[in-house]
């Protein structure tokens, strides 16, 4: 039915390629391109159907345009890094091809991410008659769809939204990040920020925490409040929300390492001079840390990501938790990746499928919650990320 060009060949890409390859009726042709083509070959070698590979520097619009013109895909799936979002969107505009990503644009030299840069493409994509789907991973991505689904089927109004992301897995290494180390550390060391009564409230990094009792035998874990990009689009598209927060679990070991690395300046993004050349400490640290794609065979345990929503239906207060539980080892058996890459790559495939099947195909630039959540929620159940909605004690969050 359609041809996709997947850009980037890291941990998430491996899952997207596997999951697209499992659906040959939808993804009839797959081209995988990245900066280091050998990484594309390594992913291709894991599959039982042939795909094409290519080398591309996605910071370079003319290289991207040449590749897109040569391959003529129906959709480009961007699973490179947030730094490449705008160049890939520019190339899609120039060639008239649909676009999808899993993380919003972030400039390389400032640890700041927001949707403004990509929302600014709305008119151009609309005029060109092509679709851009932003943030089709798990968080952002599934968490946006969960919120839209609860609003559609369970609430008249959503008042409080808490997105909770738990990785209860263990890779046995002293310190590693489960997705791109540079992006991960930039995100975690940023100030916390949440939405309350129409404005953003800032908190020092990881300064607010509480215990949360997770389902599926994961049990109680400390969750830390931080800023996450889906909060920005969700409070825009559901203006009735009085408070929206994002929480993530971290092991004490991870936090201890991060604190020490921060104290000695290794997480900085300002270039420093080292032996006559400029280096960025965080980029150097990334080179030392394990490649997230290598954690697959090592990681055991589960993830649980969900949305805790309080609101009203027919005048009654209600508190619901919608969530998925994913097992690291089961993911590895299926697609040779740990669950963090899996929970991002499966929704990227489903978002692509939504566009190619015409269910979410609409000219312009869209966040996930702006589409009908039902077909996406059905596909989560079909393609590896089953979910549940449960009624939960309204006082489960102490703070
Ligand atoms: P990795 O670092 O494992 O992979 C990134 C890939 O992009 C690498 O293959 C890298 O190439 C390639 N790349 C980087 N720069 C360029 C460039 N200029 N041109 C071409 N290719 C390039 O990252 P992950 O797979 O962990 O993450 C991928 C994306 O997914 C990120 O944007 C991340 O923020 C997002 N993400 C989203 C989540 C969600 O739930 N929404 C959760 C987790 C991740 P090379 O191998 O040469 O370095």
Closest among 154, 189, 168 to 301, alpha carbons compared: 168
Give the residue, out of 180, 248, 290, 305, with the most ligand 1 atoms within 8 A of its beta carbon, to mutate for a pocket test: 180
| Domains along the chain with CATH numbers | 2-134 (3.40.50.720), 142-336+387-391 (3.30.360.10)
Atom of ligand 1 nearest to the CA of 81: 32
Nearest atom, ligand 1, residue 292 CA: 3
**Measured distance CA(272)–CA(275) in Å, rounded:** 10
Q: In this structure, what DSSP letter does residue 239 have?
A: T
Name residue 157's beta-bridge partners: 312
Residue 248 CA to residue 262 CA, distance in Å, equals: 19
Output the CA 183–ligand 1 centroid distance in Å: 9
Per-residue pLDDT of the chain (399 residues; tens, 9 = 90+): 899 999 999 999 999 999 999 999 999 999 999 999 999 999 999 999 999 999 999 999 999 999 999 999 999 999 999 999 999 999 999 999 999 999 999 998 887 889 999 999 999 999 999 999 999 999 999 999 999 999 999 999 999 999 999 999 999 999 999 888 888 998 899 999 999 999 999 999 999 999 999 998 999 999 999 999 999 999 999 999 999 999 999 999 999 999 999 999 999 999 999 999 999 999 999 999 999 888 999 999 999 999 999 999 999 999 999 999 999 999 999 999 999 999 999 999 999 999 999 999 999 999 999 999 999 999 999 999 999 999 999 998 878
Three-state DSSP state, 206? coil
Q: Which atom of ligand 1 is nearest to the CA of 12?
A: 25
Ligand 1, residues 5, 9, 12, 78: which to mutate, most atoms within 8 A of Cβ? 12
> What per-residue confidence (pLDDT) applies to 89?
98
Q: Which atom of ligand 1 is nearest to the CA of 139?
A: 40
Pick from 10, 103, 146, 347 the residue to mutate for probing ligand 1's pocket: most ligand atoms within 8 Å of its CB.
10
Distance, CA of 264 to CA of 261 (rounded, Å)? 5
**Site residues for ligand 1, CB cut-off 6 Å:** 8-13, 34-36, 39, 56-59, 79-82, 84, 102-103, 135, 137-141, 179-180, 183, 292-293, 344
Say what the pTM is: 0.96
Residue having the nearest C-alpha atom to atom 4 of ligand 1: 10
Q: Which atom of ligand 1 is nearest to the CA of 57?
A: 19
Instruction: Count CA within 13 A, CB hemisphere, residue 89.
Output: 28
Residue 155 CA to ligand 1 center (angstroms) comes to: 36
Distance (Å, rounded) from C-alpha 30 to C-alpha 43? Answer: 12
Say if residue 140 is preceded by a cis peptide, omega within 30 of 0: yes
CA dist list (Å): 122 to 115, 116, 230: 11, 10, 18
Q: Are 357 and 184 in contact (CB under 8 A)?
A: no
Q: 334 C-alpha vs ligand 1 centroid, how far in Å?
A: 21
Measure 83 CA to ligand 1 centroid, in angstroms. Answer: 9
Kindly state the helix (H) or strand (E) to which residue 27 belongs, with its residue range.
strand 27-34
* Ligand 1 mean position, distance from CA 276 (Å): 29
């Amino acid at each position: 039915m359609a041809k996709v060009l997947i850009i980037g060949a890291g941990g998430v890409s491996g899952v997207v390629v596997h999951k697209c390859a499992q659906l040959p009726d939808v993804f009839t042709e797959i081209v995988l391109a990245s900066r280091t083509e050998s990484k594309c070959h390594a992913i291709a070698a894991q599959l039982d159907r042939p795909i094409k590979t290519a080398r591309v520097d996605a910071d370079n619009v003319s290289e991207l345009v040449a590749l897109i013109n040569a391959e003529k895909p129906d959709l480009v799936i961007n699973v490179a890094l947030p730094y490449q979002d705008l160049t890939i969107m520019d190339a899609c505009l120039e060639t008239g091809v649909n676009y999808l990503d899993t993380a919003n644009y972030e400039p390389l030299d400032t640890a700041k991410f927001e949707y403004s840069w990509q929302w600014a493409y709305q008119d151009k994509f609309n005029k060109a008659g092509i679709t851009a789907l932003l943030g089709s991973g798990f968080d952002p991505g599934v968490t946006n769809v969960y919120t839209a689904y609860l609003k559609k089927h369970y609430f008249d109004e959503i008042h409080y939204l808490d997105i909770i992301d738990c990785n209860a897995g263990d890779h046995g290494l002293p310190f590693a990040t489960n997705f791109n180390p540079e992006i991960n550390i930039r995100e975690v060391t940023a100030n916390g920020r949440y939405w309350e009564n129409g404005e953003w409230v800032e908190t020092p990094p990881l300064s607010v925490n509480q215990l949360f009792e997770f389902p599926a035998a994961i049990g109680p874990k400390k969750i830390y409040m931080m800023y996450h990009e889906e909060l920005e689009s969700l409070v825009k598209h559901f203006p009735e929300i009085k408070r929206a927060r994002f929480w993530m679990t971290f092991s004490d070991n991870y936090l201890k390492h991060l604190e020490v690395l921060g104290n000695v300046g290794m997480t900085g993004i300002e270039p420093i001079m080292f032996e006559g050349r400029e280096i960025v400490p965080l980029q150097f640290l990334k080179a030392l840390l394990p490649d997230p794609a290598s954690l697959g065979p090592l990681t055991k345990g589960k993830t649980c990501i969900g949305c805790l929503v309080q609101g009203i239906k027919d005048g009654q207060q209600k508190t619901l938790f919608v969530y998925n539980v994913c097992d690291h080892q089961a993911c590895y058996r299926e697609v040779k990746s740990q669950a963090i890459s899996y929970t991002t790559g499966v929704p990227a495939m489903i978002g692509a499928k939504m566009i190619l099947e015409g269910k979410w195909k609409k000219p312009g630039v869209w966040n996930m919650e702006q589409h009908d959540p039902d077909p996406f929620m059905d596909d989560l159940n079909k393609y590896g990320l089953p979910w549940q909605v449960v009624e939960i004690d309204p006082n489960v969050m102490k703070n």
